[in-house]
Structure formats: C-alpha cells, structure tokens
Amino acid sequence: MQVVSNLIEAHVFRFNDGKLEFLLMKRSENEKYPNIWQMVTGTISENEKAYQTALREIQEETGLTPERFWIVPQVNSFYSHENDEVCFVPIFAALVKVNSEVQISPEHSEFLWLDNKNAKKRLAWKGQRNAVDTIYEYFSSKDINLKFIEIDLTSI
C-alpha cells in the first residue's frame, strides 16, 4: 500500500449581506461519483504545488478568481481500493466577490450558493462537512485559537 497526496479540495465562499455562503456544484451524470454535490476538487499535476492546483481548479471549474486564499488547517483522507492507496487531501478556502459570475465546467451540471447548514446537508463525506464547519467557524467568529495561513495572491 502507498500513501499519496495527489488531490486537493477547495471551498469557494462569499459574503452575501454579511452571511457566509459556500459554492457547491453537482457532478455531471457522466463523471465519477455522478450527481453528488461537492466543492472544487482536482488532481495535482506534475511539478505543481497543491495550492497552485487549487487556484487552477477553481478557475477551470468555476471561472472564478479568488480575492483571498487560505490554507485550512485540516487534511482529509480516504482509502482507494483500486490503487491500494491512502490519499491525504489538503484543503483550501477561497473568498470571491459576492457578484462574481460562476461559469461551471462540463464536469458539473449545476451550482448553488448555500449557507453552512445547507451546504453540509448536500456533501457526501464527513471530512468535507467538517471542512465547511472549520471554515465557517473561522470566518464567523475569528476565534483567536484557530489560525489559517493566508497565501498572498499578489506574490504568486
């Protein structure tokens, strides 16, 4: 068995009238895991850093460009029986402007902006729901014990 980290998870969010909303997209019927709701996900390309993959996938899957971008202090994991691998998935959070126009890729069939409770109801995996909780808690309360590392987009 191998341990790998070749995927990313990026939670795109906005503040709409002061309320945090998460962007979720429904996977197309012809994709792996058809019709599930998810955040932005993707495979890390060779010679690409995980945060670069997240930014690229956000652009490819949503047409959005984040204003600000953070590393979420949480890593999801799962076991793939096809490859006999345990995969660790770094998580990112991306803030976009409230009036940004979402343009989903053919990988998805529809999208919704949802508050944290409704977003969690649509997500299939507990780790993804936990990430929504972590992001919501941080940006709603600014808990001084919880630190997100922000990646300066102007320096990339």
Residue range 8-27, pLDDT digits in tens: 999 999 999 999 999 999 99
State the pLDDT at residue 155.
Answer: 87
Q: Is a pLDDT exceeding 80 seen at residue 88?
A: yes
Tokens coding 124: 């299939």
Of the pLDDT bands very low, low, confident and very high (cuts 50, 70, 90), residue 143 is low
DSSP code per residue over the chain:
-EEE--EEEEEEEEEETTEEEEEEEEEPTTSSSTT-EE-EEEEPPTT--HHHHHHHHHHHHH----SEEEEEEEEEEEEETTTTEEEEEEEEEEE--TTPPP---TTEEEEEEE-HHHHHHHBSSHHHHHHHHHHHHHHHH--TT--PEEP-GGG-
Report pTM.
Answer: 0.94
Local confidence band at 104 (pLDDT 50, 70, 90 cut-offs)? very high
Q: What is the CATH number of the domain that holds 137?
A: 3.90.79.10
Task: Look up the domain containing 118 and give its range.
Answer: 2-155
pLDDT for residue 144 = 61
Q: How many independent structural domains does the chain possess?
A: 1
pLDDT in tens, 28-82: 988 777 899 999 999 999 999 999 999 999 999 999 999 999 999 999 999 999 9
pLDDT band at 145 (very low <50, low <70, confident <90, very high): low
